[in-house]
Amino acid sequence: MDYQAFLKTKEIQSINDGLKVDPGDLNDNLFEFQRDIVSWALQKGRAAVFSDCGTGKSLMQLEFARIVSERRGGRVLIVAPLSVVKQTQKEGNKFGILTNVCRSQSDVKDGISITNYEMLSHFDADAFDGVVLDESSILKSFTSKTRDELIDKFQRTPFRLCCTATPSPNDQSEIGNHAEFLGIMSRTEMLATYFIHDGSDTSKWRLKGYGETKFWEWVATWAVCVRDPEDLGYSKEGYDLPKLNIIEHIVKSKVQDYELFARVAETLSERRAARKESMRDRVSVASELCESSADQWLVWCDFNAESNALAKAIDSSVEVVGADSPDYKAETAIRFADGQIHALISKPSIYGFGMNFQNCHNMIFCGISDSYEQFYQAVRRCWRFGQENDVNVHIIISEAEMNVLENIKRKQAQMDTMQNNMVSLMRDVTMSEIKHTTRITTEYKPQQKMELPAWIA
């Protein structure tokens, strides 16, 4: 291999292993930016759509699955969170894309089938021409059993699509695991190419100083990142989010006899104790809020004791807990989305990802955890494109837990800054990729003529 051929192997390759589809042949209900993204993903064959809440990921992934199924004459499997499965089937019916809900391989029919992640072991990956991961952020943990199972099962599947909200720009595990699932590059290879250990802490990685731009150019060859259509140069009309009102309710904490003010909980055990101590007061505030309006309410909590207390205190409420059956969880979500339930009480781990609850614009966090992702995703169930009203998010927290709230605010500001930088770095390459597939190369511009030593000549 000569030197020029060697340099060619170092170029960033834009892989196109899929189907060439005219955007005009796609579902008429797709907006222009959605048609172009679906057409691009089909041409790639293996791609990721990092698209914010409410930008139409459900319809995009359904249309991707429909085209693959029809053009290949085979079967496509959509894997989604349990609570999202029937909602996706309902969305498909609305847009004329039939989807079959399955719990095992024996339930599969020709066309599009959908199941939840917990049932994955009951399916034969080799029986499908395509797979779509809804809420693919489940790949985030590089040590998880589900992550390993997904990568191993579908490594031979010709068409693979990952759909989730915009990832954290500094979460190399999430991005690397998506690349590995899609067969673009292994997570280990990605780290070796673009990252370096951060000082003496070998568990933390950061982008190499000179490689940040090249890293995001590489990501843009297999993933599209969009918060709204304007990020890709399309019209933003109809995609302006309504106002988000964050309303804090601070309940008093117990003050010791020898203290002037309530002590702020620092350790995990102290936070748990403070949360337990304030539960009755927090539930009382939540109950008053729900009873103050006939509008629908979405009430989030983290612990079973909180959930039970809220259900007893709030009239016309429906409680959903982890022990409930899959059918009950799915049916209750549909009933709430249809406006049949006044107040839905549950946990972000159950309904916080993937659900479309634009029907509701009032939300309560009866306590809050340190997980910014859970908070953000839970808020976006209602505060999403298609919401017609201002969204009111009530956070009820005790004085002793103010550190948790401040931590969430800090993470939110940090995330906003990082996502702005990520979208900015990917914008030009992504627009070029979507409009017409290109190859991104690392340009080599020699500055001086090479002279071989006399002993080699």
Same domain, 53 and 24: yes
CB 334 within 8 A of CB 362: no
What's the CATH number where 32 sits? 3.40.50.10810
Same domain, 156 and 270: no
| Residue after which a domain boundary falls, among 221, 238, 255 | 238
Mean pLDDT, range 32-57, rounded to an integer: 92
161 part of a folded domain: yes
Same domain, 218 and 75: yes
89/101 Cα distance (integer angstroms): 7
Number of domains in the chain: 2
Same domain, 182 and 303: no
442 part of a folded domain: no
> Which residue range(s) make up the domain with 361?
244-410
Q: What's the farthest any 2 CA atoms get from each other in the chain?
A: 91
Same domain, 216 and 263: no
396/373 Cα distance (integer angstroms): 18
DSSP3 helix / strand / coil % (the chain, rounded to 5): 45, 15, 40
Q: Render pLDDT for 316-328 as a digit per residue (tens, 0 to 9).
A: 999 999 999 988 9
The pLDDT of residue 196? 82
Q: How confident is the model at residue 11 (pLDDT cuts 50, 70, 90)?
A: low
Same domain, 255 and 303: yes
Same domain, 14 and 123: yes
The pLDDT of residue 442? 47
418 part of a folded domain: no
pLDDT over threshold 50, residue 199: yes
What's the CATH number where 356 sits? 3.40.50.300
Q: Report the mean per-residue pLDDT for the chain.
A: 86
201 part of a folded domain: yes
Same domain, 36 and 141: yes
